[in-house]
Amino acid sequence: MPDVAVVGFAQAPNVRSTPGTTNGVEMLVPIFAEVFERTGLSKEDIGFWCSGSSDYLAGRAFSFIAAVDAIGAFPPIHESHVEMDAAWALYEAWLKIRMGEVDTALVYGFGKSSAGQLRRVLTLQMDPYVVAPLWPDSVSIAGIQARLGLESGLWSEKDLAEVAARSRADAAGNPAAQLSGTVEVAELLDAPYFADPLRAHDIAPITDGAAVLVLASAERAADLVDSPAVITGIEHRVDSPALGVRDLTKSPSTAAAGRALDLDGVEVAELHAPFTHQELILREALGLGDQVRINPSGGVLTGNPMFSAGLARIGEAANRVLDGTARKTLAHATSGPVLQQNLVATLEVLS
């Protein structure tokens, strides 16, 4: 089976709100053009298209259909969609190439979180019988998870603030980031709680955004870019949707996905952690030591475009390989409440 490589990645600026439509067209058209320019490909060269987005985020049925206009889908194209983060759309595209059906694929994700009330919209990811009818919001659920770790001594409020401060400092080098800059940990800890025990800095911002990533078979990739970022492993697992069954201070599904991969020699990891404590859970689940550089992009604490943020982690991890700053990187994406579903991939220069 052919290896699959990332040959191009682009993302729209992560912003608190855009005046555009919920179908993402305004955000997608420019970044499609950007990856085509970077790879020298045109839409006619793309064998398979796959996207991730959500009708609930858009507030309209079949919202992803309208986004297809951004492609210029005539003559008809080979297209698919997942109602999850577009990292899972990437998985579907990866399979298409592995199976030899196509040798290029374009994956995109988009979301206008600002259109609705995000933490309430996300309630509808939860069990529809005994959880969602109570309308628990995503931030409160994460707060329950954070307290479990705080009270059992796994992490402190200072540990969480340090994650936030490092993320914002790193985001200074990321032109797409929504938040960035130098902040003192002590200053962060002086802020009031937003959802005790979480403060604003513990919570990823509400972000509108989109991302696009181009995959090619390793053979085709060699013609397109100097050092393709080959996906040497990709795994995804899921934990029980029943919140009270899981030990919420751990991520068994991330650990299981990581165990199925060879993580030796990973230099950089892009982790999809929408809450500060979730970065600590993920690092532990993946066994990432201090030698691994975490989220040099700033991560989703500095910009969290729903349904493309996980894909963007893969894009950022691929970029470190594409630009030669790392030989092996790890990307993680999550979907669902409190790290329910997790995808882990490794990307490498193939010598």
Query: Which range binds other proteins by CB under 8 A, 97-105, 236-244, 296-304, 308-316?
Result: 236-244
As measured in angstroms, the least distance from the Cβ of 171 to other proteins is 26
84 binds other proteins (CB under 8 A): no
The torsion of the CA quartet 275, 156, 288, 244, rounded to 10 degrees, works out to: -60
The residue within the footprint of other proteins, chosen from 15, 25, 95, 218 (CB under 8 A), is 25
- Chain-centroid distance, C-alpha 291: 22
Residue placing its CB nearer to other proteins in the complex, 44 or 264: 44
d(CA 34, CA 73): 18
Mark residues 111-150: x for contact with other proteins by CB under 8 A, - for none: ---xxxx-xxx--x---xxxxxxxxxx-xxxxxxxxxx--
| Shortest reach from residue 286's CB to other proteins, in Å | 22
Q: How far is the CB of 57 from other proteins (least distance, A)?
A: 9
Residues 257-276 binding other proteins (CB under 8 A) are none
Q: Which of 62, 175, 191, 324 binds other proteins (CB under 8 A)?
A: 62
Can you tell me the distance from the alpha carbon of 34 to that of 40, in angstroms, rounded to the nearest whole number?
10
219 belongs to the binding site for other proteins (CB under 8 A): no
Task: Indicate the SS3 state at residue 163.
Answer: helix
Provide CB contacts within 8 A for 142, sequence distance 6+. Answer: 195, 198, 203, 274, 275, 277, 278, 338
- Mode of pairing for the β-strands spanning 328-335 and 341-348: antiparallel
> Nearer Cβ to other proteins, position 144 or 350?
144
Q: Could you say whether residue 1 binds other proteins (CB under 8 A)?
A: no
Distance, first Cα to last Cα, the chain: 18
Closest CA to 139 of 307, 282, 304: 304
- Is 99 among the residues that bind other proteins (CB under 8 A)? no
**Least distance in Å: CB of 115 to other proteins?**
5
Residue in this structure with the two tokens 């191009």, named with its chain if needed: 8
- Applying CB under 8 A, the span of 62-70, 91-99, 221-229, 263-271 interacting with other proteins comes to 62-70
Kindly state the tokens that stand for 119: 């933490």
Residues 277-336 that bind other proteins (CB under 8 A): none
Which contacts qualify for 26-34: CB closer than 8 Å, 24 or more apart? 27/110, 27/208, 27/209, 27/210, 28/67, 28/70, 28/108, 28/110, 28/210, 28/212, 29/70, 31/108, 31/210, 31/211, 31/212, 32/70, 32/71, 32/106, 32/108, 32/212, 34/10, 34/212
43 binds other proteins (CB under 8 A): yes
Q: Which of 26, 34, 267, 284 binds other proteins (CB under 8 A)?
A: 26
Which residue's CB is nearer to other proteins, number 99 or number 132? 132
Pull the structure tokens for residue 62.
């079949």
Q: Under the criterion CB under 8 A, does residue 2 sit at the interface with other proteins?
A: no
Binding site for other proteins (CB under 8 A): 19-23, 25-26, 29, 32, 43, 55-56, 59-62, 66, 68-74, 114-117, 119-121, 124, 128-137, 139-148, 151, 193-198, 240, 242-245, 248
